[in-house]
Structure 1
Amino acid sequence: MKRKKIFFLFLILFSTAFVSLMAGKEEISLKELPARYKKWLEEDVIYIITPKERELFLQLETDKARDIFVEAFWKQRDPSPGTPENEFKEEHYRRFSHANEYFGRETTRPGWQTERGRIYIILGPPLDIGRYEGEGFVFPAQIWSYQGNPEYGLPSHFHLIFYKRRGIGEYVLYSPGRDGPQSLLINYKGDPSDVYAAYLQLRKFDSRLAEASISLIPGESTSYGRPSLASDTLLSRVYSVPNKMVDWKYAEALLKFKDLVEVDYSVNYIGSDSLVSVIQDDSGLFFVHYSVEPEKLSVLSYEEKHRVNLELNGIVTDIDGKMIFQYEKTFPLNFNQEQIKDVEKTSIVIQDMIPLVAGDYRFSLLMKNTVSKEFTSFERNISIPERISSPSLSSLLLGYRLKKVPSQQNNNKPFRIGDSEIGCQARSVFHPHEDLIVFFQMYSLTEELRKKGIVKFTLYRNEEEYLARRKAIREFAHDNIFEKFPLQNFPPDYYSIKVSILDAKNREILSDQKGFEVTPLPDLPRPWIISKVMPASQSIVYSYILGKQFARKGKLEEAGRLLERAYNQNPLSLEYASSYAEVLFDREEYPKVKKILIPFLENPQKDFKFLPLLGASYQALEEYESAIASYKKYLSHYGTNLKILNSIGKCYYQLGNTKEALIAWEKSLEINPHQEELKRLVESLKGKQ
């Protein structure tokens, strides 16, 4: 299992500037790019930039934005970000210079454009070069030997062959499938399609070159000299190595969260693992439980005290992209010397939960470390069922620990279900000394299923059944199901578990399946889990949150019912009152809006953001003077507002005060002169004076 890294930041924080990026903006053409950026994109990094990064770069509008992108590009590839040097960048330009110096001598093109130049820039210098030049038996050829990195899909050892086709021109990359050994031989007179005969002839000259001409992967078994298909796959993987060296999601995250990521964060994206699970509580509310595990954590350290401050920004949108719910939470973390040593050995997981009304959504989360100006993010599609009227089964949640909590603790906490807390991580990796905890929920089972139904647990090892367990549904006291499987007899390997609901005739009617791994590692440290206790499900705060969500979905009846409940329980809350008043306004219940909001005209916090809503209610009731007073009071606290100025003008116009109406509208046109209808109205009124 990949171990997370803890980075210490000693009071010197790197910052830079960033520019907002416009999602969905048209790409500019290469011809429109200033020369230095065109050179950077089409020459300096042409072989190592990912398609996503290129796409984003072409959406940038200013040179400042492009400079910042270039800085972020190199920083994402820096193997030691805590030092002033960027070894990757330095090595890249060294390779680029070497390619130009040595591989462009026999061609009119610069060396970086040759095939040897491209491979050298991507993979670096080979371990060994076998040269076949001036031999008289084969065309000039070279075998480059490399040690491969399996993380990039490469074999542990492989060759690449370059040769001069028909003995002329520059060296080109050889393909066993496309070229074949006959293309290397100068005087091959046999059947051009008889690869085996060409292989045998080449073998008489040099066995190493002959073997490599059939397969670029040493030791690969081939039959009768047939070219290796795996070799051509290898060539495509070599070209894609740069795409696997960096998580291009940093660019996608910058674009997605352009309004939430401040300038100092722009080049500091870090990867993370995440887990999302939708769970219904005993009251019937659905909560989205989630966890985020950043791959590294930078800590501000001073005098053996260590501090981190994490900010979470969550956005839930519907399938049309309309925002349904948005929130922000902070997690200030402080560690002493002993604690930080323990954290270094493991990792930190932030867990949280949010309530959500029924619907299909896109859940996006941004997590920022304000100490180090780093950020990470994830996105998930989630679905909250409307009404569950037929038997259903939730997705499986796999954990490594099950902990009972006192029954009197009726508050909510992430991944707590009833009186049980399940310890879980995004990566479903387990140690043989642990138990596998399987959790799921059953919904709306029929009476027949409850009496005669069966829950079948089937564990598979490499798709073959390894263990099975059956239990009658009536054995479970609750529809929240926890099942434990000790793993001490499970050899390290990849597994999956399938949960099936069977009817009285042993027919499968519901099922879900999830994979997991039993690690061969001698130890598997579990992370520090950081979460906040949430109010109990009966808390009025959920009426407020869910009511706001219903309102944004346009379901005013449900929204009004919940927001009225929240307001009635706490009528002194301006937040509750304003939200309820917004729904009443949409329902054209203007007198109720006035009744709710007027008491807050004297609120000691001097928060008057509700005044446009109060003014609009007065205006709808044709109480224009009161509307004007509300609008003007808003402007006195918050400054010029185009919409408010236009509303003031309309109220004065309805009162017959054309002079004051024109003053308001002309001021509005000074701010935005492109209001054509308003412009025509103003000109018409002036013509009548």
Structure 2
Amino acid sequence: MQSRPQKAPLHLVVSCLLLIQVFLTGILFATASKDVKKLPVRYQQWFNRDAAYLITDEEKGAFLHLSTDEERDKFIDHFWEIRNPNPGSPTNTYRDEIYERIQYANQNFGHEGWRTDRGRIYILFGKPQQKALYVGQANVRPMEIWFYSSPHKALPPFFYIVFYQRDTGDEFRLYSPYMDGPDKLVTGTGAENDRLTALKVIDRSLGREVARTTLSLLPDEPVDLDAATSSLTSDVMLGTIRNLANNPFNKEMLDQHRRLLEAVSHRIVISGEFLEVLTAPLVDSHGDTNLHYVLRLKRPEDFTLQQAQDEQYYFSVEVVARVLAPDNKPIFEQERKVSQFLISQQVEQVKNKLFGYEGTLPLPPGKYTVEFVLSNELNKTAFREQKEIVIPDPPAKGLQLTAVVPFAEAETGITSPTVRPFTAAGVKFTPSSGEGVALGQGRDLKFFYQIWAPPADPRSYGSAKLIAEYAVGRMGMHDTKTLQDELQRSEFDANGTLINGKKIPISDLKPGNYRMVVTVSDPATRERAFSSLNFRVVSSEPANRIWDVIDPSASDDARLGVGESQRALCYLSQGKDSEAIGWLTRSYRKDPSNEVVRSKLVELLFAKQQFQQIAVLYGNAGVTEHTDEQTILRIAESFHKLGQVGKSIQLLEGIVPGRQSGPLYLTLSSYYQQVGETQKAADTERKGKMIASLPPKS
């Protein structure tokens, strides 16, 4: 009988695989190095220094396969342009900033300061928001602590970076809370190999906050000062920083920039000369604020239809709305593509009409900058406009009016479970042009606005009324005419809002520029609120009518919780973590397969030590191949904090063979140690350190 081959122990198989990985990694690096050395010196310098921390593996391969200097120059130009915060502009502030950072690193961190750990961090993130230097302290090695606020999706919103100098004259090196620990920061035999004693030395010499930072680089991560233990969350972050260029979030951002660059690289109209943007904040049926917007071309000839082989006509447009915080940091980006065939009758109907696109953005109260880009994919033309947006807080008392929106048409009886552009209380309004709308003599001025009041049961108002007054006139002409309406308070919804549409005849107005002031007052409390609209009366009817298409993805977004997650990102940008958790939870309930949402939700819950909720999230969806390392570590540590270290071990044992991650192995080792599995702990720690010593894959 033929004997069955014996299987090698798992730890021997893993060790062999790691040795093979080290060997292959060395070969790949040696091959790439030879290819770089074949380049002219100036391209070697760009590849090895200027772009060293920014270039992705795919970009490295593409650059090394180029055969001419002309191709390399074009590649470098494109490399910087897709990272330009304002694609198509004559200046590239990102590229200029990177070269300034490289110069600063060389001037302040040594002859080739860009190569140092401090140089890497400075080039990637720029000047730290806060910086502290600790030198000349008894029993504590020289240290620098930098603090950053990062908008990068792959990194925590706030984090510290710690550097330390092992010996006099050495470079300051990057400090790892887990791999180094507080004992690497102190001198003297009594503390050098004792984390707890070392932490106490740092606490006495530099203070509690510095001592805490040596255990965790994340300000909101819970730490155990009594045991001087560190989780691997900080080390995972440092690993992400070391290979930030190849992080999936970074590559996704670059892909978005490539698409945007493609849209704007053909012909850009930066001013509002050819594109009009009208926006209005409205409260929806759930009591949440949304920004409704329409992008409309000012000339019919700027929109193109194309004829297909079957003689049908079609159009294809792309709309991008980039939402930025007041400090110009990106919050989220909404991208839409709309393509549609038109029958011959429809083509006749849209001829000589002004094309418009209507959409909404789920913005909670706050200040924003929104950059809109409307691209016609057929004639490769893109129009861009930027707006400063303020979404006001609904009033705690009194009244408030939104902007007055002129409209061309109104359709009643609309029922929709999702937020539709310029739709409220069952009425869909098609907005006219915004400020300065032109009306022919004899036409009516049609407009709507929304009144905001504190939420209340409409029945509680009884027969109470509001007075709406409309004053129309020309500035300085003393020809103001006033109309009044009565509004029933009982018509408000439970969220405290009322949409009021109005039609005012202007047949007796002479041509000229007019201003309408809307005043809504409460006779009982004498509270008043105001809004206004500028418009023009012209002698002849404006020739061009409008033709709008509506966001086609609203129902899909509602089903997948996209709006909820985007609203959460807005709250995060405002530092309102509790509100963000609520909205991320709603988003995740709609789409439990969304790992990005779950990752951010786990991060916020972990910071608030809500470990039981994290355990519930894990129970609902487990861990998939798309679950990132930081989320896995937080889930495992949550079980540990709940006194269920066995579940922590079970979770990691099922993951580490396929992940080959140093932090995951090291964390598993620490759990083995806690349950008395010393041999497993030693083997797993050795594997983890071997993996952690490998350079990033390329």
TM-score (norm 2): 0.52
Q: Residue 434 of structure 1 corresponds to which residue in structure 2?
A: 443
Cα distance change, pair 520–59 in 1 and its aligned pair in 2 (3 A)? farther
Shift of 1:463: 4.1
Q: Residue 308 of structure 2 corresponds to which residue in structure 1?
A: 302
In the alignment, does 2:469 pair up with 1:456? yes
- Asked if structure 1 preserves the Cα contact closer than 8 Å seen for 2:418 and 2:558, the reply is no
- Asked if structure 2 preserves the Cα contact closer than 8 Å seen for 1:500 and 1:512, the reply is yes
- Asked if structure 2 preserves the Cα contact closer than 8 Å seen for 1:543 and 1:565, the reply is yes
In the alignment, does 2:636 pair up with 1:618? yes
Cα distance change, pair 266–450 in 1 and its aligned pair in 2 (3 A)? farther
Q: Which digits, 9 at most, give the CA deviation of each residue in 1:473-498, with x for residues without a partner?
A: 44894432222112333333211111
Please state whether the residue corresponding to 2:372 is helix, strand or coil: strand
Cα distance change, pair 646–372 in 1 and its aligned pair in 2 (3 A)? farther
What is the distance in 1 between the residues matched to 2:654 and 2:377?
42
Q: Residue 467 of structure 1 corresponds to which residue in structure 2?
A: 481
Cα distance change, pair 450–394 in 1 and its aligned pair in 2 (3 A)? farther
What is the distance in 1 between the residues matched to 2:525 and 2:439?
31
What is the distance in 2 between the residues matched to 1:24 and 1:476?
49
What is the distance in 2 between the residues matched to 1:570 and 1:539?
8
Shift of 1:288: 0.6
Shift of 1:297: 2.0
Cα distance change, pair 506–658 in 1 and its aligned pair in 2 (3 A)? closer
Letter in 1 for 2:346: Q
Equivalent residues in 2 for 1:35-74, closer than 5 Å: 56=91
Cα distance change, pair 355–489 in 1 and its aligned pair in 2 (3 A)? same
What is the distance in 1 between the residues matched to 2:85 and 2:322?
18
Q: Residue 292 of structure 2 corresponds to which residue in structure 1?
A: 289
| Counterpart selection for 1:333 from 333, 340, 348 | 340
Cα distance change, pair 424–316 in 1 and its aligned pair in 2 (3 A)? same
| Counterpart selection for 1:550 from 571, 585, 597 | 571
Cα distance change, pair 502–368 in 1 and its aligned pair in 2 (3 A)? same
- Asked if structure 2 preserves the Cα contact closer than 8 Å seen for 1:20 and 1:258, the reply is no
CA-based RMSD of the aligned residues comes to 4.4
Shift of 1:549: 4.0
Q: Residue 108 of structure 1 corresponds to which residue in structure 2?
A: none
What is the distance in 2 between the residues matched to 1:60 and 1:571?
39
Shift of 1:279: 0.7
Shift of 1:632: 6.1
Shift of 1:543: 4.6
Letter in 2 for 1:520: S
Q: Residue 22 of structure 2 corresponds to which residue in structure 1?
A: none
Letter in 1 for 2:276: D
Shift of 1:258: 4.8
Q: Which digits, 9 at most, give the CA deviation of each residue in 1:106-136, with x for residues without a partner?
A: xxxxxxxxxxxxxxxxxxxxxxxxxxxxxxx
Equivalent residues in 2 for 1:169-184, closer than 5 Å: none
Please state whether the residue corresponding to 2:691 is helix, strand or coil: helix
Q: Residue 607 of structure 2 corresponds to which residue in structure 1?
A: 586
Please state whether the residue corresponding to 2:260 is helix, strand or coil: coil
Shift of 1:468: 1.1
Shift of 1:553: 4.1
- Asked if structure 1 preserves the Cα contact closer than 8 Å seen for 2:325 and 2:573, the reply is no
Please state whether the residue corresponding to 1:276 is helix, strand or coil: strand
In the alignment, does 2:417 pair up with 1:398? no
Shift of 1:417: 1.6
Q: Residue 193 of structure 1 corresponds to which residue in structure 2?
A: none
Equivalent residues in 2 for 1:316-331, closer than 5 Å: 316-331=323-338
Q: Which digits, 9 at most, give the CA deviation of each residue in 1:434-491, with x for residues without a partner?
A: 3212322222279999947532211112443342112344489443222211233333
Q: Residue 185 of structure 1 corresponds to which residue in structure 2?
A: none
Equivalent residues in 2 for 1:262-281, closer than 5 Å: 262-263=261-262, 265-270=264-269, 271-281=274-284
What is the distance in 1 between the residues matched to 2:430 and 2:470?
20
| Counterpart selection for 1:416 from 409, 415, 423 | 423
Letter in 2 for 1:486: P
- Asked if structure 1 preserves the Cα contact closer than 8 Å seen for 2:401 and 2:529, the reply is no
- Asked if structure 2 preserves the Cα contact closer than 8 Å seen for 1:567 and 1:576, the reply is yes
- Asked if structure 2 preserves the Cα contact closer than 8 Å seen for 1:453 and 1:473, the reply is yes
Q: Residue 45 of structure 1 corresponds to which residue in structure 2?
A: none
Q: Which digits, 9 at most, give the CA deviation of each residue in 1:634-672, with x for residues without a partner?
A: 57xxxxxxxx6566566668844554234223223687x
Please state whether the residue corresponding to 1:357 is helix, strand or coil: coil
Shift of 1:518: 2.1
Instruction: Tell me how many residue pairs correspond in the alignment.
Output: 427
Letter in 2 for 1:518: V
Please state whether the residue corresponding to 1:360 is helix, strand or coil: strand
What is the distance in 2 between the residues matched to 1:497 and 1:285?
28
Shift of 1:414: 0.7
In the alignment, does 2:365 pair up with 1:358? yes
- Asked if structure 1 preserves the Cα contact closer than 8 Å seen for 2:409 and 2:431, the reply is no
Q: Residue 172 of structure 2 corresponds to which residue in structure 1?
A: none
Q: Residue 499 of structure 1 corresponds to which residue in structure 2?
A: 518
What is the distance in 1 between the residues matched to 2:517 and 2:656?
61
Letter in 2 for 1:384: I
Cα distance change, pair 450–371 in 1 and its aligned pair in 2 (3 A)? farther
Cα distance change, pair 398–563 in 1 and its aligned pair in 2 (3 A)? closer
What is the distance in 2 between the residues matched to 1:54 and 1:375?
13
Unmatched tracts of structure 1, length 5 or more: 1-14, 26-51, 62-254, 636-643, 672-689
Cα distance change, pair 658–571 in 1 and its aligned pair in 2 (3 A)? closer
Q: Residue 507 of structure 2 corresponds to which residue in structure 1?
A: 488
Unmatched tracts of structure 2, length 5 or more: 1-73, 97-253, 493-497, 672-680
Cα distance change, pair 472–353 in 1 and its aligned pair in 2 (3 A)? same
What is the distance in 1 between the residues matched to 2:289 and 2:410?
22
Q: Which digits, 9 at most, give the CA deviation of each residue in 1:379-421, with x for residues without a partner?
A: 2222233451132322332324342422645543211121222
- Identity, % of aligned positions: 14
Q: Residue 518 of structure 1 corresponds to which residue in structure 2?
A: 537
Letter in 1 for 2:474: R
Letter in 2 for 1:269: I
- Asked if structure 2 preserves the Cα contact closer than 8 Å seen for 1:397 and 1:438, the reply is yes
Cα distance change, pair 321–413 in 1 and its aligned pair in 2 (3 A)? same
